[in-house]
Structure 1
Amino acid sequence: MDKKPSPQDVIYNVRNHGRQPSKRLRENLERMFEASKQHQTANGVSWNLTFNEYLELITQRRMQRMEAELKAGKLKEFMKGAKGYVLTTKNRTAYKAKIYDPTTVEFVNRNKSLRNHRMNKGDTHSEKSKEIMSIKRTGTTQTEETKQKISEGNKGKVLTKATKKAIADARTGTTHSEETKAKQRAAMQAYHAARRAAKEAQNGTEGV
């Protein structure tokens, strides 16, 4: 005997007549919904979104695109790409509130999701975000070209007293390892040797 539809299912079917997902796509969307729910709730998000409300966030055009990708056997690949769709908060305010409901989230492509979460002036990274960025950068090195660009970009910049104090406060109590000290000494020796060589070459040219 078929399960009798709930009042919520009836309302959803009336509202969304003509853009119901196929059985196969619905099964995929159910898995995506549950995976997102588990991931977000594990990160402290208050989840107040039903599966039917989730479906209502999907436009007919996006539903058709997913049906086409599924038919071609490329839905998984498509959804992982930059143009693939994700359930995401509408802006950083909603993101910080950590509430998922029909008014705070939307079903959009990954590029739009990234734009939603761009940091604004005055925003700061959480300690968890800083830790993730630190781990990702561990072991990476910058090319000489990148270093040169950074050097050129910093030329002429003057730090404010407040910035200098913040840097000093952050460094208070920190100590360098012997390896770091050795590298610093070697770098300074090389720097001064290069300056002496340049000065001697200049003096030699002037004396000719």
Structure 2
Amino acid sequence: MSPAFQRQPLVLASASAARRALMAGVGLSVELQPADLDEEGLRQANPDLKPADMAVCLAETKAVAVSRMRPGVLVLGGDQILEDDGAIVSKAETLADVAARLRGFRGRTHHLHSGAALARDGAVVWRHVDTAALTVRDFSEAWLAAYLEAEGAALTGVVGGYRLEGPGAQLFSRIDGDYFTILGLPLWAVLEALRDQGVIDR
């Protein structure tokens, strides 16, 4: 661990480059160990969970699964759910699907729920969810075509078909909520929890 203020190791139960970059950006060293999780199966097994609760459920499940393999080590799990009119939206499979989805978002507001959980030795020690509301502007078809060409197939790897840290920021006319929540972690709450757990200094 290189940061002088980090007192304990931390494992990130995720393959997300965005979440790893967030942690590195605030000076934390994390080890990536993605959880082997059937997310779609978990969603289907819990059809009554609200989208925000599902985000936390997925984060907890990831953190617990990895923490059972890493005795004594604190594990951070994170997950994000996109909600549109009460329904959970999954990643698009093709660029054509991305285009159709973005057209459906045009001129409307949808929500991103970012869940996070900390687990140690198979037990959850902390959980949190934060929500951001994103209003998509009435963009033109010419803009959409240029956007799809610029970003390419990478858009199928991100829920919603946009990266706020990239050209996708141009999609929006208004955002209510925390920037880090949109990127994939409710960072302020995570940092406070890590202080409570003794991972970083107060």
Which entry has the higher C-alpha Rg, 1 or 2? 1
Identify whether the pair has TM-score above 0.5, normalized to the shorter chain: no
TM-score, normalization by structure 1: 0.19
TM-score, normalization by structure 2: 0.20
Higher helix share: 1
Tell which has more relative contact order, 1 or 2 (C-alpha 8 A, sep 6+).
2
